[in-house]
Chains A and B, each alone.
Chain A
Amino acid sequence: MSEPLLTVKDLVVDFRTELGDVRALDKVSFDVPRDCITAVVGESGSGKTVTGNSIMRLLPESAHVTGEIVLHPRGEEPISISSLAERDPRLRSLRGGLVSMVFQEPMTALSPVHRIGDQVAEAVLCHRPVSREAAWNEAAAMLEQVGLTDIDKRMRMYPFEFSGGMRQRVIIAIALICHPQLLICDEPTTALDVTIQAEILVLIRSLQRKLNNSVLFITHDLGVVAQIADRVVVMYDGQVVETGSVRQVLKNPQHSYTRHLLASMPDAVTDPGSDFPVNRLLSVENLSKSFAGQEVVRSVSFDVDESTTLGIVGESGSGKTTLVRSILRAIDPDSGAVRYNSRDGWRELDGLTPRQLLPLRREIQMIFQDPFASLNPRMTVQAILEEPLIIHDLGDRAWRKQRVAEMLQKVQLDPGVASRFPHAFSGGQRQRIGIARALILEPRLVVCDESVSALDVSVQAQILDLLADLQAELGLTYLFVAHDLRVVRDFCDHVLVMYAGSVVEQGPVEEIFANPKHDYTRLLLSAIPLPDPDEKLEPLNRAELNLAEL
């Protein structure tokens, strides 16, 4: 085998903080071979992003780095990246020249006040003595290669006029325009909708073959790994725990952590099941809502039975959040009816005044997406959890305290943590607190708005298990808004597919997944990256199906 393009040896990174040194990478060693895609996979805190940033030398000043990173460019002397001084001109020619990078957040990774064309052309001007015009033309050619159309017009536009997927294509163009030998992609598809993710993955794969470079692909998603990588480096807690070919690692994992990661993939979540009699809980009829003359939800109808889970899927902009908010009466729908079978009989939610709604709010609760933003950082867990009880004027102080302790136990947290503040908890623990807050009022209907999508895959599996257990124990009904179809398939009983404000398909999960009728559902399903290197991603073509990007 030929010499690898990049060798990382005994890389140790410590971050100096006020609380002492924090070790981010601990003796990390791996190679990036030529002409292939190497994936670095791990959960948050595993050190995968720090590894990528170390290679680009983008770590903050508080980082203390030892170890060796050596690049062996084709036809050039090896460069020891780790020993270059910050002011060394070779470092600048390396960045964006021999090695370049694509980032996670396409929405913010481009300067908001410079034109797309200028931002791409600048990368050429930084590395080669060419005229502005030549650089502009090169940028146009590169943008075409990454799949943009109407190039002349688009190059004069600003990033905020582009969708997330288009911005990510622009960033890929910037990264590839100087023909780097190594392209580092740091979670390039995590912030994108599943269908856009599939398109970007296919694009990166085809460009890698065309340009014959190497790609270091950082991700948390084993499905994405299986789809894109030739080789895999598995990281855990700042260390490399396993490396090998993608087939070897995914089909025959050696390290227990890799096996744990694979087992946490949504397919493995147990079916909640339930032994409650069928009893209709919620009935939505012809619900519509417009903003500024644009119909965001169009005549949506569906029913939900008690103790079942209805998944609501669709891309950003499909109207799923507006739908749920209309049901919760966080916003007032324009027309249509929302009927809810409360403990005191059927109620029309859409006709009630806020005062009349208050008793029903006890029965309908919500679990939010962002476990960090949805808990008030200045309140203790006790205060957060008892606030709903106080609002509804339930019990005295001692009773509330006991209730909070019970609830914490129910979500598998130690009741002793009630006196702490949210920042003392991890993302998964915070989401447990969010669940406890929702359940403390003994609701019957719980709306989960992307409640697990911000979590690492193994934490996600635990939270889904918890939700399933609570459903079986308390007979809860879930409205489960999600964009990850793998989670929906394993967690929900029924599914409702939304596109451009309308329900394009609904029915039992098995049926929809086995036999999708609508083109949009088929497009969504074809974009799911499965954690199996033998089942290659072949997303359907959006344009051919005549489905506009939202």
Chain B
Amino acid sequence: MLRRLLGMIPTLAVISVLVFIVIQLPEGDIVTSTLDRLSATGVEMSDDRIRNLRAQYNLDQPLPVQYLSWIGNFITGDMGFSYLYARPVNELVWERLGYTLLVTVGALLFTWLLALPIGIYSAVRQYSVADYAFTTAGLIGLATPNFLIALILMYLGYTWFGLSFGGLFSPEFLNAPWSWARFVDLLAHLWIPVIVIGTSGMAVTMRLMRANLLDELRKPYVTTARAKGVPPLKLLLKYPVRIAINPFISTIGLLLPALISGEAIVGVVLNLPTTGPLLVQSLITQDMYLAGSLIMLLSVLTVTGMLLSDLLLAWVDPRIRYE
């Protein structure tokens, strides 16, 4: 356990160097891209101002120094300053993380509450009409890009109900303080991204649950339980389902990285105040601190998520716990 925790440190150190290198790879930096933008509008800057600007952002320092100051601040909880939004990265991330968590967890629950029972049903009634129907529907869902579903839902919502679905709030609540009405407004908007993102995982979850359960149903311990006289429904849930569900529990850890990078395109299409669009934007504009910190955060959450998955799996499966 302790070894696992200590092992994370070198992993993250290597990742941080890689992240820094990748961010530095494209030609130019935030100053050159600002200059480009300015010169497009006809404004020219003197060399002195440019040098000052570089000095202000530490860009005149050698790369190792830049790296150390960036990572040092990151460790102490300061993720730097976003040139693009002209605000500290910490503020930007924290305000969006809550909504991202809401959407991601909502989507996961939506997926599981629907797909797991369907998977169980499909396995128990293998090759029945309903099994084929669910399989077909699931595959169509899998094959349709998420943003397309988002666009279709937005279009239908607009033409049928005259509603605009962008974002998580109606314009009048966007900057309003929290109130019951604002909460209801949030729920009214939330279901769209939840369904859109949730359907993407449905087909896979359904098929995986079906396959896992079919494997387990053929195992001798199921026959033993039947021969014991365990009632059918209790038997199904207590034995094979209990074991077939383990792989899903281990995917909970993958939620953490999804908080940063998940569903960026849907986020853009639906204009959601989540972290995905923020990441895309920062990469396009070479907003070094924002992009670097987000990717570093993504890595930290990935590694932590993996650890969390292992812990959860060990908690539910004694065979792993004792190894």
Binding site for B on A (CB under 8 A): 56, 58, 92-97, 100-101, 103-105, 108-114, 122-123, 126-127, 158, 160-161, 171, 174-175
Q: Which of B220, B239, B242 contacts A103 (CB 8 A)?
A: B220
Q: For B220, give its contact among A96, A105, A123, A158 (CB under 8 Å).
A: A105
- Interface: B174 (CB within 8 A): no
Q: Does B62 contact A (CB under 8 A)?
A: no
The answer to whether B224 and A161 touch across the interface, beta carbons within 8 angstroms, is no
Residues 277-317 (chain B) with a chain A CB within 8 angstroms? 316-317
Among the stretches B66-74, B114-122, B225-233, the one at the interface with A is B225-233
B228 CB contact (under 8 Å) in A95, A158, A160, A161: A95
Q: Which residue from chain B places its CB closest to the CB of A112 in the assembled complex?
A: B319
Contacts of B242 in A (CB 8 A): 113
Residues of B within 8 A of A127 (CB): 229
Given contacts A92-B229, A92-B231, contact A109 B318 (CB under 8 A): no
A136–B225 alpha-carbon span in the complex (Å): 17
* Contact among B228, B243, B317, B322 with A123 in the assembled complex (CB-CB below 8 Å): B228
**CA–CA, A97 to B219, complex, Å?**
22
A95 touching B227 by the CB < 8 A rule? yes
* CA of A58 to CA of B228, assembled, Å: 11
Residue in A closest to B323 when the chains form the complex, CB atoms = A160
Instruction: Tell whether B158 is near chain A: CB-to-CB under 8 Å.
Output: no
**B residues within 8 A CB of A122?**
228, 230
B32 contacts the other chain (CB 8 A) = no
State how many angstroms separate the Cβ of A136 from the closest Cβ of chain B: 16
Does B223 reach chain A (CB closer than 8 Å)?
A: yes
Given contacts A108-B221, A111-B221, contact A56 B322 (CB under 8 A): no
CB distance from A297 to the nearest CB of B (A): 25
Q: Is the CB of A103 within 8 A of B230?
A: no
- Distance in angstroms between the alpha carbons of A189 and B159 in the assembled complex: 70
Decide if A109 touches B224 in the complex (CB within 8 Å): yes
A97 to chain B minimum Cβ distance, whole angstroms, is 6
Contact B319 A109 (CB under 8 A): no
Say yes or no: A112-B220 contact (C-beta < 8 A), given A58-B226, A123-B229, A161-B322.
Answer: no
How far is A104 from B224 in the complex, measured between Cα atoms in Å?
Answer: 11
Q: How far is the CB of A157 from chain B (nearest CB, A)?
A: 9
With a CB–CB cut-off of 8 A, which chain A residues contact B221?
Answer: 108-112
Query: Is A108's CB under 8 angstroms from B219's CB?
Result: yes
A414 CB to nearest B CB, Å: 35
> Closest A-chain residue to B225, C-beta based?
A111
Q: Name the contact of A56 in the complex, choosing from B219, B225, B227, B319 (C-beta under 8 A).
A: B227
Which 6 residue pairs of A and B lie closest in terms of their CB atoms, listed nearest first? A96-B229, A96-B228, A95-B229, A109-B220, A101-B227, A126-B229
CB proximity of A488 to chain B, nearest CB, Å: 30
A-B pairs with beta carbons under 8 Å apart, 11 shown: A58-B227, A94-B229, A104-B220, A105-B220, A108-B219, A108-B220, A109-B224, A112-B317, A114-B239, A122-B230, A126-B229
Contacts from B to A (Cβ < 8 Å): 219-221, 223-231, 238-239, 242-243, 316-319, 322
In the complex, the answer to whether B228 meets A174 with C-beta atoms within 8 Å is yes
Q: From residue B160, how far is it (CB to closest CB) to chain A in Å?
A: 45
- With both chains docked as a complex, state the minimum distance between the C-beta of B320 and any C-beta of chain A, in angstroms: 10
User: Given the known A-B contacts A110-B221, A161-B322, are A126 and B227 also in contact in the complex, defined by CB atoms under 8 Å?
Assistant: no
Smallest CB separation, A334 vs chain B (Å): 25
| Closest A residue, CB atoms, query B218 | A60
Q: Which residues of B contact A175 (CB under 8 A)?
A: 227
Q: How far is the CB of A84 from chain B (nearest CB, A)?
A: 13
Residues of B within 8 A of A113 (CB): 242-243, 316-319
Q: Which residues does chain A contribute within 8 Å of B223, judged by CB atoms? A: 58, 103, 109
A461, chain B: closest CB distance, angstroms:
29
A505 to chain B, nearest CB (A): 36
Question: Which residues of A are found within 8 Å of B230, using beta-carbon distances?
Answer: 96, 122, 126
Partner of A111, one of B226, B239, B316: B239
In contact, B319 and A160 (Cβ under 8 angstroms): yes
When distances are taken between beta carbons in the complex, the residues of chain A under 8 Å from B229 are 92-97, 123, 126-127
Contact call B239/A96, Cβ cutoff below 8 A: no
Known: A111-B225, A174-B228. 18 other contacts (CB 8 A): A58-B226, A97-B229, A100-B228, A104-B220, A108-B219, A108-B220, A108-B221, A111-B224, A113-B316, A113-B317, A114-B238, A114-B239, A122-B228, A122-B230, A123-B229, A126-B230, A126-B231, A160-B322
Q: A94–B228 Cα gap in the complex (Å)? A: 9
Most buried by B among A126, A171, A174: A126
The answer for the CA separation of A110 and B220 in the assembled complex, in Å, is 8
A174 touches B224 (CB 8 A): yes
Residues in B with CB closer than 8 Å to A105 are: 220
Complex CA distance for A56 and B219, rounded to whole angstroms: 17
Residue of B nearest to A127 (CB): B229
How close is B240's CB to chain A, nearest CB, in angstroms?
9
CA gap between A58 and B224 in the complex, in Å: 10
Neighbouring A residues of B231 by C-beta, 8 Å:
92, 126
Give chain A residues whose Cβ lies under 8 Å from the Cβ of B226: 58, 95
Contact residues in B for A126 (Cβ distance below 8 Å): 228-231
- Report the minimum CB–CB distance from A249 to chain B (whole Å): 28
Q: How far is the CA of A96 from the CA of B238 in the complex (A)?
A: 17
Query: Which of B220, B231, B317, B319 has most A Cβ within 10 Å?
Result: B220
The smallest beta-carbon distance between A542 and chain B, in angstroms, is 26
Measured CB to CB, the nearest residue on chain A to B318 is A158
Q: Within 8 Å CB of B225, what residues of A? A: 111
Given the interface contacts A105-B220, A158-B318, A158-B319, does A112 sit within 8 Å of B243 by beta carbon?
yes
A105–B222 CA distance with the chains assembled, in angstroms:
12
CB distance from A217 to the nearest CB of B (A): 16
A92 contacts across to B, CB distance below 8 A: 229, 231
Q: Which residues of B contact A101 (CB under 8 A)?
A: 227
Q: Which residues of B contact A114 (CB under 8 A)?
A: 238-239
Residues of B close to A123: CB separation below 8 A: 228-229
Shortest CB distance B294–A (Å)? 39
With most chain A CB atoms within 10 A of its CB, the pick from B223, B228, B230, B231 is B228
Contacts of A93 in B (CB 8 A): 229
CA distance A58 to B230 in the complex (A): 13
A171 touches which of B224, B318, B322 (Cβ 8 Å): B224
Q: From B240, which residue of chain A is reached at the shortest CB distance?
A: A111
CA distance A160 to B243 in the complex (A): 15
Complex CA–CA separation, A28 to B164 (angstroms): 72
Q: Bound state CA distance, A549 and B317, in angstroms?
A: 27
* Most chain A beta-carbon contacts within 10 A, residue among B224, B319, B322: B224
